[in-house]
Amino acid sequence: MDEEMPVDVHNAAQLVVTVDFDAEELWLAEDPENARRPGVLSQARYGVQVAVPALLAMFRELDVPATFFVCGGDAERHPHAVDAIAAGGFEIGHHGFSHRSPHTMTAEQEEAEIVDGLTALHRHTDRVAGYRSPSWDFGSSTLGLLQRHGFAYSSNMMDAVHPYRHAEHDLVELPVHWLLDDAPHFWFDTSSWDKTIRSAGEVAAIWREEAAAIWDLGGLVTLTMHPQIIGRPSRLRMLREFLTWARGRSGLALSTAGDLAASLR
């Protein structure tokens, strides 16, 4: 793992809204047997068919810039959805080709994932500047591979609340945290029947508490969501209220991840 010391480069309250467009690739990486489970995969279809259009409409209505990190395999499976994201003026970033974690691969396999993902995404956008790995997981070669393939930023690390430049790689980091992700609070599958699904109201309270504290420090909130998770009706309602609340905070800047990273290079 990268042991370089981060260097803070930015001090201003910021909100970056990110959506990890995980469809079938997520479930196939969890278990290849899921290819034969239409019920499991229907959750992915919900994300593509119901949640993505709802999110795009909400972001447009509230004038919220957003970045969608897309698996290359899902882009090939759902080209019209990725076209709709690009046509809406939203940023498209890299989220692997499959949804397998980089630490499970050799450097050669990981590079192939990066190259294949770029090829798939370049059918929809000219520039892919950002990388978010599946599950925010890195291998020992990841930062070097990102630099080699011309990425401008990573949004994967949990070692800061301010954006920073990686000391030994020409990359900006836009830090994340599980607190500000929808999956830890809402994720459910049949391997974990003992897990309680949180209510949207509970998660709204967690997000607001953490976001307000980060902004008081002049830091960055990188909100991270997944269409098939945040796209349930009660959660979309909560998201709308959260974004409206954030929009009302004076001095808060909103941008895509790519625009923020470009301003820091």
Q: Report the interface residues with Zn ion, using CB under 5 A.
A: 20, 22, 134
Nearest approach in angstroms of CB 22 to Zn ion is 4
Q: From CA 177, how far away is CA 35, in angstroms rounded?
A: 30
Token pair in block for residue 112: 């192939």
Cβ-contact 92, 65 below 8 angstroms: no
Q: Which is nearer to Zn ion, 74 or 173 (CB)?
A: 74
Nearest approach in angstroms of CB 4 to Zn ion is 25
Q: From CA 71, how far away is CA 82, in angstroms rounded?
A: 10
Nearest approach in angstroms of CB 182 to Zn ion is 11
Nearest approach in angstroms of CB 179 to Zn ion is 17
Q: Which is nearer to Zn ion, 59 or 69 (CB)?
A: 69
Q: Which is nearer to Zn ion, 230 or 246 (CB)?
A: 230
Identify any residues that bridge with 92 across adjacent strands, giving them in sequence order.
68
Nearest approach in angstroms of CB 133 to Zn ion is 8
Q: What is the DSSP string of 126-159?
A: S---EE--GGG---TTHHHHHHHTT--EE----S
Q: From CA 17, how far away is CA 50, in angstroms rounded?
A: 19
Q: Which is nearer to Zn ion, 124 or 226 (CB)?
A: 226
SS3 182: coil
Phi-psi map region of 163: left, alpha, beta (phi>0 left; psi -120 to 50 alpha): beta
Q: Which is nearer to Zn ion, 211 or 225 (CB)?
A: 225
